[in-house]
């Protein structure tokens, strides 16, 4: 099936049975559908602004976007890098939609 989904190659069997006028000596053929689609592009929202509040922690939400769906598991490593040393990042939570 033609699609644009990056996916693993798919294998199927073609099996012969109930021959008439012949004998099946090798009745199983294997077909492999080779995926020809590359992975989607991933981007992170370039910047966000948030108010510091008056106490406690605030949440900063960065949105990651894929250019299109993938048939494979997509993962990415998140790394925190301090620009201002007084910023304390206590935790990172990830959710998907």
Contact between residue 5 and residue 71 where contact means Cβ atoms under 8 Å apart: yes
Contact between residue 6 and residue 35 where contact means Cβ atoms under 8 Å apart: yes
Residue with nearest beta carbon to Ca ion: 37
CB of 44 to Ca ion, least distance (A): 25
- How many amino acids of this chain bind Ca ion (CB under 5 A)? 6
Q: Decide: is 3 part of the binding site for Ca ion (CB under 5 A).
A: yes
46: left (phi over 0), alpha (psi -120 to 50) or beta: alpha
Q: Decide: is 89 part of the binding site for Ca ion (CB under 5 A).
A: no
Under the rule (CB under 5 A), what is the footprint of Ca ion?
A: 3, 5, 7, 35-37
């Amino acid at each position: 099936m033609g699609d644009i989904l990056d996916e693993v190659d798919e294998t199927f069997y073609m099996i012969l049975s109930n021959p008439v006028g012949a004998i099946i000596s090798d009745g199983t053929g294997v077909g492999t559908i080779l995926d020809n689609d590359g992975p989607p592009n991933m981007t992170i929202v370039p910047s966000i602004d948030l108010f510091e509040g008056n106490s406690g922690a605030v949440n900063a939400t960065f949105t990651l976007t894929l250019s299109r769906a993938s048939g494979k598991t997509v993962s990415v490593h998140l790394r925190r890098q301090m620009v201002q040393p007084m910023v304390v990042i206590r935790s990172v939570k990830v959710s998907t939609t």
